[in-house]
Amino acid sequence: MNRPPTTAGRALTVSATVVASAIAAHSLPALTAVGPLRPYLAPRLSGLGQPGHVALTFDDGPDPRSTPLFLAELERAGVQATFFLLGRMLLRAPSLGRDLVEAGHEVAVHGYWHRPMLLRSPHCAWDDVRRARDLVADLTGTAPRWYRPPYGVFSLSALSAARRLGLSPVLWSHWGRDWTASATPETVLRTVTRSPMDGGTVLLHDSDVTSAPGSWRAALGALPRLLEHCAREGLVVGPLRDHLPARARP
């Protein structure tokens, strides 16, 4: 049965509308951050780049328990990748950040805390991206070029912070869903290769610090077969710097 809304009910409806509008305004870029239309609406943001090339990216490290194993596997395969680092992880393992750069990998910014940017104030968003960017630059000795927010969801504040810091936002076109407890090397490989990979950007995780314990093992197990798959398809795998055209810094 429909009843006329009470005053409290009306107030709730009004505040819900105001909150929803505020979130919508705050999260405008998030509309292109997720969903099947993103590659068409925002190809560069989705990491769609050089034909014949696949960008390999890892999020959430560096992690002393797992990142060295990814480094060893990549060295065995002679492949370089882009690692989106968390400031708080890098602070605990700065030498691992330097190892990444010394092995020829590219380091990029994933933020400091790994909290959803939509829930953070403009000041906190700026602080998070700036702290992470400065740590990556100072502790690895290289200036990062790319920013990928936690969960792949931007806020206007995070986007503007990244731009002010000279970072280009980039997400991914292919993921392995390697962060779940049920992920296995087989599911990761199947998920990543579900659609043609030419020109795409792959998201995997070299740490389980924000996901199911031990889930990095599924990504690590899938890696050699994924690289073999790309080789069979005639695709060169490398970091984002070889994949997306450079953009003028602000």
Binding site for Zn ion (CB under 5 A): 59-60, 150
| Cis ω for the linkage preceding 62 (within 30 of 0) | yes
Q: Cα(122)–Cα(145) distance, rounded to whole angstroms?
A: 21
Shortest reach from residue 60's CB to Zn ion, in Å: 5
Q: Cα(144)–Cα(90) distance, rounded to whole angstroms?
A: 14
The pair of structure tokens assigned to 164 is: 């002010």
DSSP conformation class of 165? T
**Smallest Cα–Cα separation from 84: which of 245, 244, 224, 240?**
240
Shortest reach from residue 113's CB to Zn ion, in Å: 11
Taking the least distance from each CB to Zn ion, the nearer of 113 and 163 is 113
Shortest reach from residue 149's CB to Zn ion, in Å: 9
Shortest reach from residue 158's CB to Zn ion, in Å: 13
Do residues 165 and 134 touch, judged by C-beta distance below 8 A?
A: no
Shortest reach from residue 88's CB to Zn ion, in Å: 12
The strand pairing partners of 238, in sequence order, are 55
Taking the least distance from each CB to Zn ion, the nearer of 81 and 235 is 81
Q: Cα(112)–Cα(50) distance, rounded to whole angstroms?
A: 30
Taking the least distance from each CB to Zn ion, the nearer of 220 and 235 is 220
Shortest reach from residue 244's CB to Zn ion, in Å: 20
**Smallest Cα–Cα separation from 89: which of 109, 117, 116, 69?**
109
Taking the least distance from each CB to Zn ion, the nearer of 129 and 235 is 129
- For Zn ion, which residue has the nearest CB? 59
Give the DSSP H or E segment for 69.
Answer: helix 67-77
Taking the least distance from each CB to Zn ion, the nearer of 62 and 199 is 62
Taking the least distance from each CB to Zn ion, the nearer of 111 and 199 is 111
Taking the least distance from each CB to Zn ion, the nearer of 60 and 128 is 60
Beta-carbon count within 10 A of 31 CB:
14
DSSP 93-157: -HHHHHHHHHTT-EEEE--SS---GGGS-HHHHHHHHHHHHHHHHHHHSS---EE--GGG---HH
Shortest reach from residue 43's CB to Zn ion, in Å: 22
